[in-house]
Amino acid sequence: MFNDLTNSLIPNTALSVGGLTDYLRSLLEQDQILRQVWITGEVSSANHHRSGLFFTLQDPDGTASIKCVAWNNQLAKLAQTPISGEQLIILGSIRLYPQRGEYQLTVWQSLPAGVGLQALRYQQLKNRLLAEGLFDLERKRSLPTHPQIIAVVTSPTAAAWGDIQKTLKHRYPGLQVLFSPATVQGEQAPESIVKAIERVEKDGRAEVLILSRGGGAVEELACFNDERVIMAVANCPIPVITGIGHERDESLADLVADVCVHTPTAAAERVVPALSELYFQHQQRITALLETVNSALGMGDNQLQSLKNRLRRLGLDRQLQQEAQRLSWQRQQLLQVTKGKLQQSTQHLEMLRQKLASIDPKAVLQRGYAVVKQENRIVRSASELTLGEELLIQLAQGEVKVKVMEVNEPQRRRGRRGVNG
Protein backbone atom coordinates (compact mmCIF):
# COMPACT_ATOMS: atom_id res chain seq x y z
CA MET A 1 0.00 0.00 0.00
CA PHE A 2 2.78 2.38 1.03
CA ASN A 3 4.76 1.61 -2.11
CA ASP A 4 1.79 2.19 -4.29
CA LEU A 5 1.12 5.50 -2.56
CA THR A 6 4.75 6.55 -2.93
CA ASN A 7 4.84 5.67 -6.60
CA SER A 8 1.68 7.58 -7.18
CA LEU A 9 3.22 10.74 -5.61
CA ILE A 10 6.53 10.66 -7.63
CA PRO A 11 6.14 12.44 -10.94
CA ASN A 12 7.62 11.00 -14.07
CA THR A 13 9.82 14.11 -14.46
CA ALA A 14 11.86 13.50 -11.29
CA LEU A 15 15.68 13.78 -11.84
CA SER A 16 18.54 11.96 -10.22
CA VAL A 17 21.30 13.85 -8.45
CA GLY A 18 23.58 13.26 -11.39
CA GLY A 19 20.89 14.34 -13.77
CA LEU A 20 20.30 17.56 -11.86
CA THR A 21 24.01 18.24 -11.69
CA ASP A 22 24.41 17.66 -15.41
CA TYR A 23 21.53 20.00 -16.09
CA LEU A 24 23.03 22.75 -13.92
CA ARG A 25 26.44 22.26 -15.48
CA SER A 26 24.98 22.63 -18.94
CA LEU A 27 23.25 25.82 -17.89
CA LEU A 28 26.40 27.30 -16.35
CA GLU A 29 28.99 26.22 -18.85
CA GLN A 30 26.94 27.05 -21.92
CA ASP A 31 25.94 30.50 -20.75
CA GLN A 32 27.76 33.08 -22.88
CA ILE A 33 28.26 35.47 -19.97
CA LEU A 34 29.57 32.86 -17.56
CA ARG A 35 31.97 31.42 -20.12
CA GLN A 36 34.03 34.66 -19.95
CA VAL A 37 33.16 36.75 -16.93
CA TRP A 38 34.99 39.53 -15.04
CA ILE A 39 34.59 39.42 -11.24
CA THR A 40 35.99 41.83 -8.65
CA GLY A 41 36.57 40.91 -5.03
CA GLU A 42 39.04 40.39 -2.21
CA VAL A 43 41.24 37.33 -1.82
CA SER A 44 40.41 35.75 1.54
CA SER A 45 42.68 32.72 1.27
CA ALA A 46 45.23 31.31 -1.13
CA ASN A 47 46.90 27.89 -1.09
CA HIS A 48 49.39 26.42 -3.51
CA HIS A 49 48.93 22.79 -4.56
CA ARG A 50 50.73 20.61 -7.05
CA SER A 51 48.17 21.35 -9.75
CA GLY A 52 47.74 25.07 -9.16
CA LEU A 53 46.80 27.94 -6.87
CA PHE A 54 43.44 27.62 -5.07
CA PHE A 55 41.92 30.67 -3.42
CA THR A 56 38.61 32.24 -2.39
CA LEU A 57 37.33 35.53 -3.79
CA GLN A 58 34.73 37.35 -1.72
CA ASP A 59 32.95 40.66 -1.52
CA PRO A 60 34.64 43.17 0.84
CA ASP A 61 31.68 42.91 3.22
CA GLY A 62 31.93 39.12 3.26
CA THR A 63 28.35 38.57 2.12
CA ALA A 64 29.27 36.34 -0.83
CA SER A 65 32.26 34.29 -1.98
CA ILE A 66 33.33 31.99 -4.77
CA LYS A 67 36.10 29.41 -4.99
CA CYS A 68 38.71 29.95 -7.67
CA VAL A 69 41.63 28.04 -9.19
CA ALA A 70 44.56 29.15 -11.34
CA TRP A 71 46.22 26.12 -12.86
CA ASN A 72 50.02 25.95 -12.99
CA ASN A 73 50.16 26.47 -16.75
CA GLN A 74 48.32 29.77 -16.30
CA LEU A 75 50.05 31.18 -13.20
CA ALA A 76 52.99 32.68 -15.06
CA LYS A 77 50.60 34.59 -17.35
CA LEU A 78 48.82 36.38 -14.50
CA ALA A 79 49.58 40.09 -14.16
CA GLN A 80 49.00 39.83 -10.40
CA THR A 81 49.39 36.67 -8.32
CA PRO A 82 46.46 36.37 -5.87
CA ILE A 83 47.54 37.06 -2.29
CA SER A 84 45.30 37.13 0.77
CA GLY A 85 43.93 40.60 1.50
CA GLU A 86 44.36 42.00 -2.04
CA GLN A 87 41.61 43.45 -4.18
CA LEU A 88 41.61 41.85 -7.63
CA ILE A 89 39.76 41.84 -10.90
CA ILE A 90 39.51 38.24 -12.12
CA LEU A 91 38.75 37.02 -15.63
CA GLY A 92 37.53 33.42 -15.75
CA SER A 93 34.85 30.89 -16.59
CA ILE A 94 32.43 28.94 -14.36
CA ARG A 95 32.93 25.20 -13.96
CA LEU A 96 30.75 22.78 -11.96
CA TYR A 97 32.14 19.61 -10.33
CA PRO A 98 29.49 16.84 -9.98
CA GLN A 99 31.32 14.83 -7.31
CA ARG A 100 31.29 17.74 -4.85
CA GLY A 101 28.21 19.47 -6.14
CA GLU A 102 30.21 22.71 -6.21
CA TYR A 103 31.07 25.27 -8.81
CA GLN A 104 34.24 27.35 -9.02
CA LEU A 105 35.88 29.95 -11.21
CA THR A 106 38.73 28.86 -13.45
CA VAL A 107 41.05 31.90 -13.60
CA TRP A 108 42.52 33.13 -16.87
CA GLN A 109 43.81 36.54 -15.77
CA SER A 110 44.21 38.46 -12.52
CA LEU A 111 44.60 42.25 -12.28
CA PRO A 112 44.91 44.66 -9.34
CA ALA A 113 41.50 46.12 -8.56
CA GLY A 114 40.69 49.81 -8.79
CA VAL A 115 43.91 50.92 -10.46
CA GLY A 116 44.56 47.49 -11.85
CA LEU A 117 44.74 48.49 -15.49
CA GLN A 118 46.95 51.44 -14.66
CA ALA A 119 49.23 49.19 -12.64
CA LEU A 120 49.40 46.76 -15.53
CA ARG A 121 50.31 49.51 -17.99
CA TYR A 122 52.86 50.86 -15.50
CA GLN A 123 54.53 47.47 -15.16
CA GLN A 124 54.57 46.84 -18.89
CA LEU A 125 56.11 50.25 -19.59
CA LYS A 126 58.64 49.77 -16.80
CA ASN A 127 59.70 46.42 -18.19
CA ARG A 128 60.14 47.89 -21.67
CA LEU A 129 62.18 50.84 -20.42
CA LEU A 130 64.31 48.46 -18.37
CA ALA A 131 64.96 46.33 -21.44
CA GLU A 132 65.96 49.45 -23.40
CA GLY A 133 68.58 50.27 -20.75
CA LEU A 134 67.10 53.61 -19.64
CA PHE A 135 67.52 52.66 -15.98
CA ASP A 136 71.17 51.56 -16.32
CA LEU A 137 73.65 53.20 -13.98
CA GLU A 138 76.19 53.54 -16.81
CA ARG A 139 74.07 56.17 -18.58
CA LYS A 140 73.47 58.35 -15.51
CA ARG A 141 75.47 61.59 -15.37
CA SER A 142 76.92 63.18 -12.25
CA LEU A 143 75.66 66.56 -11.12
CA PRO A 144 77.97 69.60 -11.40
CA THR A 145 79.75 70.35 -8.13
CA HIS A 146 79.19 74.12 -8.10
CA PRO A 147 76.52 75.06 -10.65
CA GLN A 148 75.98 78.76 -11.27
CA ILE A 149 72.69 78.45 -13.19
CA ILE A 150 70.01 75.82 -12.56
CA ALA A 151 66.54 75.28 -14.02
CA VAL A 152 63.40 74.23 -12.14
CA VAL A 153 60.35 72.62 -13.74
CA THR A 154 57.29 72.50 -11.49
CA SER A 155 53.96 74.21 -10.90
CA PRO A 156 54.18 77.95 -10.09
CA THR A 157 51.36 77.57 -7.54
CA ALA A 158 52.67 74.45 -5.86
CA ALA A 159 54.35 74.43 -2.46
CA ALA A 160 57.26 72.60 -4.07
CA TRP A 161 58.35 75.76 -5.92
CA GLY A 162 58.37 77.77 -2.71
CA ASP A 163 60.34 75.07 -0.87
CA ILE A 164 62.94 74.95 -3.64
CA GLN A 165 63.37 78.74 -3.72
CA LYS A 166 63.76 78.95 0.02
CA THR A 167 66.28 76.12 0.18
CA LEU A 168 68.41 77.42 -2.69
CA LYS A 169 68.50 80.97 -1.29
CA HIS A 170 69.52 79.71 2.13
CA ARG A 171 72.20 77.29 0.91
CA TYR A 172 73.71 79.17 -2.05
CA PRO A 173 72.89 82.91 -2.21
CA GLY A 174 73.46 84.53 -5.57
CA LEU A 175 72.60 81.39 -7.56
CA GLN A 176 70.71 82.11 -10.80
CA VAL A 177 67.51 80.05 -11.07
CA LEU A 178 65.62 79.67 -14.35
CA PHE A 179 61.99 78.80 -13.68
CA SER A 180 60.08 76.91 -16.39
CA PRO A 181 56.48 76.52 -15.17
CA ALA A 182 54.44 73.41 -15.90
CA THR A 183 51.19 71.73 -14.96
CA VAL A 184 52.11 68.70 -12.83
CA GLN A 185 48.68 67.10 -12.36
CA GLY A 186 45.87 66.05 -14.67
CA GLU A 187 45.51 65.08 -18.31
CA GLN A 188 47.38 68.15 -19.58
CA ALA A 189 50.35 67.59 -17.28
CA PRO A 190 52.52 65.30 -19.49
CA GLU A 191 52.48 67.67 -22.46
CA SER A 192 53.04 70.69 -20.20
CA ILE A 193 56.05 69.09 -18.50
CA VAL A 194 57.59 68.12 -21.85
CA LYS A 195 57.25 71.69 -23.14
CA ALA A 196 58.77 73.08 -19.94
CA ILE A 197 61.82 70.83 -20.34
CA GLU A 198 62.11 71.83 -24.01
CA ARG A 199 62.17 75.52 -22.99
CA VAL A 200 65.12 74.84 -20.69
CA GLU A 201 66.96 72.96 -23.45
CA LYS A 202 66.34 75.76 -25.96
CA ASP A 203 67.57 78.43 -23.49
CA GLY A 204 70.85 76.52 -23.10
CA ARG A 205 72.15 78.29 -19.97
CA ALA A 206 71.22 75.85 -17.21
CA GLU A 207 73.82 73.36 -15.97
CA VAL A 208 71.32 71.09 -14.19
CA LEU A 209 67.52 70.72 -14.13
CA ILE A 210 65.22 70.01 -11.17
CA LEU A 211 61.91 68.29 -12.01
CA SER A 212 59.74 68.47 -8.93
CA ARG A 213 56.29 68.06 -7.40
CA GLY A 214 54.94 67.61 -3.90
CA GLY A 215 53.28 64.46 -2.64
CA GLY A 216 49.83 63.26 -3.62
CA ALA A 217 47.67 60.29 -4.48
CA VAL A 218 48.80 57.76 -7.06
CA GLU A 219 46.44 59.23 -9.63
CA GLU A 220 47.89 62.71 -9.06
CA LEU A 221 51.44 61.51 -9.74
CA ALA A 222 50.46 59.54 -12.86
CA CYS A 223 51.88 62.17 -15.23
CA PHE A 224 55.42 61.25 -14.12
CA ASN A 225 54.79 57.72 -15.40
CA ASP A 226 53.78 59.02 -18.82
CA GLU A 227 56.16 57.86 -21.55
CA ARG A 228 56.39 61.35 -23.05
CA VAL A 229 57.70 62.77 -19.78
CA ILE A 230 60.06 59.83 -19.28
CA MET A 231 61.64 60.23 -22.72
CA ALA A 232 61.98 63.99 -22.25
CA VAL A 233 63.92 63.36 -19.03
CA ALA A 234 66.04 60.62 -20.63
CA ASN A 235 66.95 62.77 -23.65
CA CYS A 236 67.62 65.99 -21.77
CA PRO A 237 71.14 67.23 -22.66
CA ILE A 238 71.88 68.34 -19.08
CA PRO A 239 71.72 66.26 -15.87
CA VAL A 240 68.22 65.92 -14.38
CA ILE A 241 67.42 65.47 -10.69
CA THR A 242 63.87 64.59 -9.65
CA GLY A 243 62.21 65.39 -6.35
CA ILE A 244 58.69 64.02 -6.71
CA GLY A 245 56.24 63.16 -3.93
CA HIS A 246 57.18 61.75 -0.57
CA GLU A 247 59.42 58.96 0.73
CA ARG A 248 57.03 56.21 -0.35
CA ASP A 249 56.52 57.51 -3.89
CA GLU A 250 58.52 56.33 -6.90
CA SER A 251 57.82 57.13 -10.53
CA LEU A 252 59.35 56.00 -13.79
CA ALA A 253 60.69 59.53 -14.23
CA ASP A 254 62.64 58.98 -10.99
CA LEU A 255 64.13 55.77 -12.34
CA VAL A 256 65.29 57.32 -15.62
CA ALA A 257 66.62 60.56 -14.08
CA ASP A 258 70.34 60.99 -13.41
CA VAL A 259 69.69 61.53 -9.68
CA CYS A 260 66.50 60.80 -7.73
CA VAL A 261 65.52 62.12 -4.31
CA HIS A 262 62.15 61.90 -2.57
CA THR A 263 61.13 65.53 -2.01
CA PRO A 264 61.51 68.95 -3.66
CA THR A 265 63.52 70.21 -0.68
CA ALA A 266 65.90 67.26 -0.93
CA ALA A 267 66.40 68.00 -4.63
CA ALA A 268 67.37 71.61 -3.87
CA GLU A 269 69.74 70.44 -1.12
CA ARG A 270 71.35 67.91 -3.44
CA VAL A 271 71.86 70.20 -6.41
CA VAL A 272 73.94 72.87 -4.63
CA PRO A 273 76.25 72.73 -1.60
CA ALA A 274 75.62 74.91 1.45
CA LEU A 275 78.07 77.80 1.83
CA SER A 276 78.43 76.96 5.51
CA GLU A 277 79.47 73.43 4.57
CA LEU A 278 81.93 74.75 1.97
CA TYR A 279 83.47 77.10 4.53
CA PHE A 280 83.77 74.27 7.05
CA GLN A 281 85.39 72.03 4.41
CA HIS A 282 87.78 74.86 3.50
CA GLN A 283 88.84 75.24 7.12
CA GLN A 284 89.34 71.49 7.38
CA ARG A 285 91.59 71.54 4.30
CA ILE A 286 93.64 74.43 5.74
CA THR A 287 94.05 72.57 9.02
CA ALA A 288 95.01 69.37 7.22
CA LEU A 289 97.52 71.27 5.05
CA LEU A 290 99.13 72.92 8.08
CA GLU A 291 99.38 69.58 9.81
CA THR A 292 101.01 68.07 6.71
CA VAL A 293 103.52 70.93 6.38
CA ASN A 294 104.39 70.85 10.09
CA SER A 295 104.78 67.11 9.94
CA ALA A 296 107.09 67.40 6.90
CA LEU A 297 109.16 70.11 8.63
CA GLY A 298 109.43 68.00 11.75
CA MET A 299 110.56 65.00 9.75
CA GLY A 300 113.13 67.17 7.95
CA ASP A 301 114.52 68.50 11.23
CA ASN A 302 114.78 65.00 12.60
CA GLN A 303 116.60 63.77 9.50
CA LEU A 304 119.01 66.74 9.60
CA GLN A 305 119.82 66.17 13.26
CA SER A 306 120.31 62.49 12.57
CA LEU A 307 122.82 63.30 9.81
CA LYS A 308 124.69 65.71 12.09
CA ASN A 309 124.97 63.06 14.76
CA ARG A 310 126.14 60.55 12.22
CA LEU A 311 128.84 62.91 10.92
CA ARG A 312 130.09 63.47 14.43
CA ARG A 313 130.27 59.74 15.04
CA LEU A 314 132.21 59.19 11.83
CA GLY A 315 135.01 61.68 12.73
CA LEU A 316 135.07 63.28 9.33
CA ASP A 317 138.08 65.58 10.03
CA ARG A 318 140.29 62.67 10.99
CA GLN A 319 139.19 60.75 7.93
CA LEU A 320 139.96 63.73 5.69
CA GLN A 321 143.48 64.03 7.19
CA GLN A 322 144.12 60.34 6.66
CA GLU A 323 142.86 60.56 3.11
CA ALA A 324 145.13 63.59 2.42
CA GLN A 325 148.16 61.65 3.73
CA ARG A 326 147.26 58.69 1.57
CA LEU A 327 146.96 60.90 -1.52
CA SER A 328 150.35 62.57 -0.76
CA TRP A 329 152.07 59.21 -0.50
CA GLN A 330 150.45 58.03 -3.73
CA ARG A 331 151.63 61.27 -5.41
CA GLN A 332 155.24 60.63 -4.37
CA GLN A 333 155.01 57.05 -5.58
CA LEU A 334 153.65 58.23 -8.90
CA LEU A 335 156.45 60.81 -9.30
CA GLN A 336 159.13 58.20 -8.58
CA VAL A 337 157.66 55.71 -11.02
CA THR A 338 157.29 58.41 -13.66
CA LYS A 339 160.90 59.58 -13.16
CA GLY A 340 162.22 56.03 -13.50
CA LYS A 341 160.21 55.45 -16.65
CA LEU A 342 161.55 58.74 -18.07
CA GLN A 343 165.18 57.78 -17.42
CA GLN A 344 164.72 54.40 -19.06
CA SER A 345 163.10 56.02 -22.08
CA THR A 346 165.95 58.57 -22.34
CA GLN A 347 168.61 55.87 -22.25
CA HIS A 348 166.80 53.78 -24.85
CA LEU A 349 166.43 56.83 -27.07
CA GLU A 350 170.16 57.59 -26.85
CA MET A 351 171.02 54.00 -27.75
CA LEU A 352 168.77 54.17 -30.80
CA ARG A 353 170.28 57.49 -31.81
CA GLN A 354 173.80 56.06 -31.66
CA LYS A 355 172.74 52.99 -33.59
CA LEU A 356 171.10 55.13 -36.22
CA ALA A 357 174.22 57.32 -36.49
CA SER A 358 176.43 54.27 -37.01
CA ILE A 359 174.50 53.23 -40.08
CA ASP A 360 174.01 56.71 -41.50
CA PRO A 361 175.62 56.86 -45.02
CA LYS A 362 176.72 60.43 -44.43
CA ALA A 363 178.66 59.38 -41.38
CA VAL A 364 180.45 56.72 -43.43
CA LEU A 365 181.35 59.31 -46.05
CA GLN A 366 182.73 61.55 -43.30
CA ARG A 367 185.25 58.83 -42.50
CA GLY A 368 186.72 59.00 -46.06
CA TYR A 369 184.57 56.57 -47.97
CA ALA A 370 182.85 57.37 -51.29
CA VAL A 371 179.83 56.14 -53.22
CA VAL A 372 180.24 55.23 -56.91
CA LYS A 373 177.09 55.72 -59.00
CA GLN A 374 176.41 54.63 -62.55
CA GLU A 375 173.32 56.29 -64.00
CA ASN A 376 171.68 56.76 -60.59
CA ARG A 377 172.51 53.27 -59.35
CA ILE A 378 175.32 52.30 -56.98
CA VAL A 379 178.19 50.26 -58.44
CA ARG A 380 179.12 47.32 -56.27
CA SER A 381 181.47 45.33 -58.61
CA ALA A 382 184.24 46.24 -61.10
CA SER A 383 182.86 43.66 -63.49
CA GLU A 384 179.83 45.92 -64.01
CA LEU A 385 182.05 48.63 -65.54
CA THR A 386 183.47 49.11 -69.00
CA LEU A 387 186.37 51.21 -70.20
CA GLY A 388 185.55 54.80 -71.05
CA GLU A 389 182.30 54.74 -69.02
CA GLU A 390 181.58 57.86 -66.98
CA LEU A 391 180.91 57.48 -63.24
CA LEU A 392 179.76 59.83 -60.48
CA ILE A 393 181.74 59.71 -57.25
CA GLN A 394 179.85 61.05 -54.17
CA LEU A 395 182.14 62.27 -51.41
CA ALA A 396 181.41 63.60 -47.95
CA GLN A 397 181.74 67.08 -49.40
CA GLY A 398 180.56 67.27 -53.02
CA GLU A 399 180.60 64.94 -56.06
CA VAL A 400 183.24 64.13 -58.75
CA LYS A 401 182.61 62.86 -62.30
CA VAL A 402 185.28 60.40 -63.62
CA LYS A 403 185.90 58.14 -66.60
CA VAL A 404 186.96 54.47 -66.37
CA MET A 405 190.51 54.11 -67.65
CA GLU A 406 191.24 50.63 -66.37
CA VAL A 407 189.20 47.82 -64.80
CA ASN A 408 190.82 45.55 -62.28
CA GLU A 409 188.52 42.63 -61.45
CA PRO A 410 188.93 40.42 -58.40
CA GLN A 411 191.88 37.94 -58.58
CA ARG A 412 189.68 34.85 -58.68
CA ARG A 413 187.67 35.94 -61.64
CA ARG A 414 190.68 37.26 -63.54
CA GLY A 415 192.43 33.96 -63.23
CA ARG A 416 189.37 32.21 -64.63
CA ARG A 417 189.32 34.56 -67.61
CA GLY A 418 193.02 34.01 -68.16
CA VAL A 419 192.43 30.34 -68.33
CA ASN A 420 189.60 30.85 -70.74
CA GLY A 421 191.70 33.24 -72.85
**Do both 236 and 247 map to the same domain?**
yes
Q: How far is CA 356 from CA 300, 351, 359, 360, 366, in A?
A: 74, 9, 5, 6, 15
What CATH number did the domain enclosing 82 receive? 2.40.50.140
C-alpha–C-alpha distance, residues 367 and 156, integer Å:
136
Q: What percentage of residues in the chain have a pLDDT greater than 70?
A: 87
The answer to the question of residue 249 being in a domain is yes
The answer to the question of residue 288 being in a domain is no
> Which residue range is the domain that position 352 belongs to?
328-359
Residue 2 has pLDDT above 60, yes or no: no
**Do both 96 and 147 map to the same domain?**
no
Residue 275 has pLDDT above 60, yes or no: yes
CB distance 172 to 144 below 8 Å: no
| Confidence band of 42 (pLDDT split at 50, 70, 90) | confident
What is the rounded average pLDDT of the residues 340-368? 79
Q: What is the pTM of this model?
A: 0.47
∠ Cα 32 61 122 (to 5°): 65
Which of 236, 252, 276 represents a domain boundary (last residue)? 276
pLDDT of amino acid 119: 56
**Do both 76 and 145 map to the same domain?**
no
The answer to the question of residue 420 being in a domain is no
Model confidence pLDDT, tens digit, residues 233-260: 999 999 999 998 765 667 899 999 999 9
The answer to the question of residue 354 being in a domain is yes
Q: Exposure pattern of 295-331 as b/e (b: 16+ CB <10 Å)?
A: eeeeeeeeeeeeeeeeeeeeeeeeeeeeeeeeeeeee
139 or 221, greater pLDDT: 139
| Confidence band of 419 (pLDDT split at 50, 70, 90) | very low
Model confidence pLDDT, tens digit, residues 76-123: 889 888 887 778 889 998 888 888 788 889 999 998 875 444 556 778
Partners of 261 in beta bridges: 243
pLDDT of amino acid 253: 92
The answer to the question of residue 383 being in a domain is yes
CB distance 64 to 76 below 8 Å: no
CB distance 357 to 372 below 8 Å: no
Which of 340, 359, 378 represents a domain boundary (last residue)? 359
The answer to the question of residue 284 being in a domain is no
pLDDT of amino acid 149: 94
Q: Which of 33-42, 165-174, 223-232, 359-368 is predicted with the least confidence, judged by mean pLDDT? A: 359-368
| Confidence band of 219 (pLDDT split at 50, 70, 90) | low
Model confidence pLDDT, tens digit, residues 130-154: 999 999 999 999 999 889 999 999 9
